[in-house]
Structures are given as structure tokens and as C-alpha cells.
Amino acid sequence: MVATAKNTGEGWSSRSAFILAAVGAAVGLGNIWRFPTLAGESGGGAFVIFYIACVFLLGLPLVLSEIFIGRVGQTDAVGSIRRVAGQSNASPAWSIFGGIGAIAAFLILSFYSVVAGWVLYYAGTMGADFIQAILSGDPLRGALAGESRDQIQQRLSDMFASPMLLLVMHLGFMGLTLFIVARGVSSGIEKAATYLMPIFFVLLLGLVIYGAVEGEMGEALTFLFTPDWSKLTPPVMNSALGQALFSLSLGVAGLITYGSYIKEGSGLGSTSAMIAIADTCVALLAGLMIFPIVFAVGLDPAAGPTLVFQTLPFAFQTMPGGALFGFLFFVLILVAAVTSSISLLEVPTAWGIGERGWRRPKSALIFGIGAFVIGIFCLLGYNVWSDVRPLGFWSLFAETDILDTVDGFTGKIMLPLGALLTSLFIGWKADKRLLQTTTGLSPLSFGLFRFLIAWLCPLAVIIILVTGLFPSILGA
Ligand code: PHE
């Protein structure tokens, strides 16, 4: 039985290709930029342990649910949910969360590409610096030799101040994403994942070893794994829950879409577990790569979003081989970002193919250009429109610039909403027999899965939603 997606006729060439692509989608800026940032800001250990619990109790059942819907539906997210609903005697109106997911993916793509553009610029800067180091006969010198800490920090402000530079980087990254998605599932997305993910893992391990040799690994381990439970405040728990959703790419129908290209076979439970485990290991390894370097130079782990762009380049300056490893570090983030951004573009693209009957290149182009244009608004929010507050009338977003508004609106509202509807649909509506035979879970695992998806996930996600919308409840 070869049940490729009916509307597109496309599919993965093997189970491992699917896993690689799905891990590529999950592993991204969320793991390497956002996770260490949040862990640093939230004081380390307690956040990390709570985060891991969220991934396995909440994230994993949702991963399995999304893949199940795609596997059964065999078409874009909206159509797939409709099919599962049809086979479960549930209302086709449930397919609305596929639509919410596709819109969320499209919006996330718009600012994701802008941030990836910053990474692209830093990879270029550090690459040029490394070439200079080679030319000067000292390839193993530190990064950005001779620059003061202020000068290094100034680089970020200078970049933000230049709309043209940001635009060109955003264009380059979006162009690459569009190029891959337009080529299709097996010759575009799968091929990119098969080439890029091994490179990613080699770079990641190389940089962790570098951190262990040159940095303060002991201090980083203590910071990341010794919990100080007093730091686990409600806002910290809330951000850990939200980060688990974001990092596993949940709530945007991404895994429904990727799951729809699975041709045959079951074992969805173990596949889902592999995705969740790989994503978590990468986040932890990213912490074990970044914090030893940060501590080696006595810098502040709680620097926030600029940790990667200001703190680390300075750290790389003082470390032997910093020019080389600093460059590799930004290449690593870039690789992770590409394999995620293609999954973001794929969700609306599949919708256009499945629901509108467009050809793939046309669909990818429409959504790629659309997200590019919204991204332009986001990047202008860093300079010419820095005063613009798009949802300023809403107290939650009163102080947020354009990019952070799109980020906050999708992350705080759309993703939790998508995840909530997914868990309600699978926990309460989907046909149990269909669910059990397709997922291939043992009776015990199936019982646990059903409990988590029907009760724990909706409850936890409602908490994220409500406290995200009304932060005053948490006293924040
Ligand atoms: N999971 C990706 C990351 O960690 C982000 C993402 C979210 C990708 C949603 C696809 C869908 O960077």
C-alpha cells in the first residue's frame, strides 16, 4: 500500500528521511537561540528540568497526535483533519485548527526569516574575520581581533540601524527557503535535511567539545542541571511550556503536514519519541555549547536575546581558535534555521496545493513572497518604524515592536490555541480504534497517551493561554 498524499503525490523516500526532516523542522532557532536565552534568564536548572517534563508529558503526545492526523489524512493539514473527522464521525469544522496552524506558520516564517537574516550576517562577518585570520598567518587567533567590547556590541546596533542590510539578509534567507520548498518534498525538503542535518550534528558536537576543552564545562553543567526551585515561578513555568510547544514545532500543523508524506508503516509512537528526544538533546547540547564559553569569560548568562549576538562574539574573541569556532557557531545556527523555515513554508504551501489546487511552485511563491513582505515590516520596526506598536491598543502588546508583536501573537495565542484544539480533537473526538491501530502503541502506552492528550494537555495549554493573555494573574 503506497498512500502518498493524494493531492500532491509526494512522499518521503523512507522512514529515516521523515525522521531527519521532522527533527530538522523541530531543531532551529528555538533550540540554539531561544532555549539558552530563556534558561539563562530564568536561572538555569529548575527551568531546564521543568522544560524537559513539559516536552515529554505535553509535547510528545501532541507530536504523536499531529503525525497521526497527517498519516491518516494524507493531504494538507486542513484536508487531513477533515478526513480524520470524517472517519471519526466528528464535525468537519474541526479542520479550522489546520487553518489556524497554516496562518501561524506563515506569520512565524515572516519574522523567523528576519532573525535568521541576522544570523546570516553574523556568519558572513565571522567568516570574513576568519579569512583575515588565515591571511594574517594566525588562523587560530580569537575572533574580531583588536575590537573592544563596545565595538563588538555596536555591530549589532549598527546592523539594526540599517534597513537595507537587514532586507538583503532577509531576502537571501527567504530566497533559499523558497527555493528548497518549491523543489518539492523528496527533491527539496528531504534532500536539504539529508545533507544539512549531518553537518549540523558534526558542528554541534565539535562546538560542545570545544566548549568542554576551552571553557568552563563544570560551571555550565551546574548552572543547567542544579535546580534552585525557588526560581520556578509561574512566569518561568509559563515560558517553559510555551518554549516546549515552539521548539517541537507544535500548534502550527507542521507535523501534520510532514506526517502526511509518510507512505506506509506504523510505529508512530517510537518515531514521535525520537523526534522529541532529539529536539531536547539538541537544546541541552546548545546550552552545553554556549554556557561553558560564556562562563569562561566571566560573562552574564542572563543577557537575554543578545546573548548569541553580543555576549558570544566577545567571548570568542578571548578564546584560542575563536575566529574559526565563532564562524562555525553561526553556520550551525544558520543550518538549523533553514531546516525549520522550510517546514514553516511547507504548511501553507501544502494548503495551497491541497485546498486550492495550485501547483507547488506557485503556492510556495505566493506564501514565500507574502511572508517576505510581512518580514519587511518586522525589520523596519528596528529602525525607521521603531515607534510603531501594531497592537498598541492591547495592553499585552502596548510596548512591543512589530517583530515582537508577530512573535508574541503567534507564540502566546495561535500556537497554544492550535495545540489546545489538537489535543481536544484527538483526546475526545478521534476514533479510538483508528488511533490505536495507526499509532501502533501497546495497550499500556495507549492508555497513558490517551490520558495525557485528553486531560493533561488541554489543561496545561489552557493555563499557558490564559496566563499568556492575562499576565497579571501571575502577578507579573
Ligand atoms: N521548532 C522551530 C525552532 O525551534 C521553530 C518552528 C516552530 C518551526 C513552528 C516550525 C514550526 O526553531
Ligand 1 centroid distance, CA of 30 (Å): 6
In the block, which residue shows the cell 497513558?
448
Closest CA to 418 of 346, 426, 371: 426
Residue type, 123: A
Q: Residue 238 has what pLDDT?
A: 84
Given CA atoms 137, 139, 140, 141 in this order, what sign does their dihedral have?
positive
pLDDT at 6: 46
Mutating to test ligand 1, I would choose from 249, 256, 334 the residue with most ligand atoms within 8 A of its C-beta, which is 249
Q: Give the model's pLDDT for residue 475.
A: 61
Got the DSSP string for 336-362? HHHHHHHHHHHHHHHHHHHHH---HHH
CA of 252 to the centre of ligand 1 (A): 9
pLDDT at 358: 97
Confirm if 339 and 25 have CB atoms less than 8 A apart.
yes
Q: Would you call 465 helix, strand, or coil by DSSP?
A: helix
Q: Give CA separation, 368 vs 71, 109, 137, 171, 343, in Å.
A: 26, 9, 43, 10, 12
What number does the ligand 1 atom closest to the CA of 415 have?
9
Q: Which residues line ligand 1 (CB under 6 A)?
A: 25-26, 28-31, 105, 108, 246-247, 249, 252, 254, 340, 343-344
Give, using CA atoms, the residue closest to atom 11 of ligand 1. 249
The b-or-e profile of 232-253 (16+ CB within 10 A means b, else e) is bbeebbbbbbbbbbbbbbbbbb
Whether 214 and 320 have beta carbons less than 8 Å apart is answered as yes
The amino acid occupying position 186 is: S
Q: How far apart are CA 406 and CA 408, in angstroms?
A: 6
Alpha-carbon distance of 142 to 37, in angstroms, equals 23
Task: Please give the distance, rounded to the nearest whole angstrom, from the Cα atom of residue 105 to the centre of ligand 1.
Answer: 9
Cα of 66 vs centre of ligand 1, distance in Å, is 14
Between the two ends of the chain, the Cα-to-Cα distance in Å is 54
Question: Rounded distance, CA 323 to CA 364, Å?
Answer: 37
Domain boundaries, the chain: 15-474
| pLDDT tens digit at each of 476 positions of the chain | 333 444 556 899 999 999 999 999 999 999 998 999 999 999 899 999 999 999 999 999 999 999 999 999 999 999 999 999 999 999 999 999 999 999 999 999 999 999 999 999 999 999 999 999 999 999 999 999 999 999 999 999 999 999 999 999 999 999 999 999 999 999 999 999 999 999 999 999 999 999 999 999 999 999 999 999 999 988 888 889 889 999 999 999 999 999 999 987 768 999 999 999 999 999 999 999 999 999 998 888 998 888 899 989 999 999 899 999 999 999 999 999 999 999 999 999 999 999 999 999 999 999 999 999 999 999 999 999 999 999 999 888 888 999 999 999 999 899 999 999 999 999 999 999 999 999 999 999 999 999 999 999 999 999 888 888 887 776 65
Report how far ligand 1's centroid is from the alpha carbon of 120 (Å): 18
CA dist list (Å): 81 to 139, 324, 326 = 54, 47, 44
- Containing H/E element for 270? helix 268-296
Residue whose C-alpha is closest to residue 20's, from 339, 461, 288: 339
Residue 83: CB atoms within 10 Å: 19
pLDDT on residue 3: 39
CB 207 within 8 A of CB 328: yes
Residue from 200, 340, 412 whose mutation best tests the ligand 1 pocket (most atoms within 8 A of CB): 340
Query: What is residue 71's predicted lDDT score, i.e. its pLDDT?
Result: 96
CA geometry: angle 213, 218, 220, nearest 5 deg: 95
Cell of 474: 501571575
Amino acid letter, residue 236: V
Q: How far is the CA of 153 from the centre of ligand 1 (A)?
A: 27
Q: What secondary structure letter does DSSP report for 227?
A: -
pLDDT computed for residue 235 by the predictor: 84
C-alpha cell at 456: 493533561
Which of 246, 341, 345, 407 for mutating ligand 1's site (highest number of atoms within 8 Å of CB)? Answer: 246
CA of 242 to the centre of ligand 1 (A): 12
Q: What does the alpha-carbon distance between residue 133 and residue 142 come to, in Å, rounded to a whole number?
A: 9
Give me 3's grid cell. Answer: 498512500
CB 16 within 8 A of CB 194: no
Q: Find the helix packing angle between 322-356 and 96-135, rounded to 10°.
A: 150
Q: Which CATH architecture fits 15-474?
A: Orthogonal Bundle (1.10)
Spatial distance between the Cα atoms of 73 and 88, rounded to a whole number of angstroms: 12
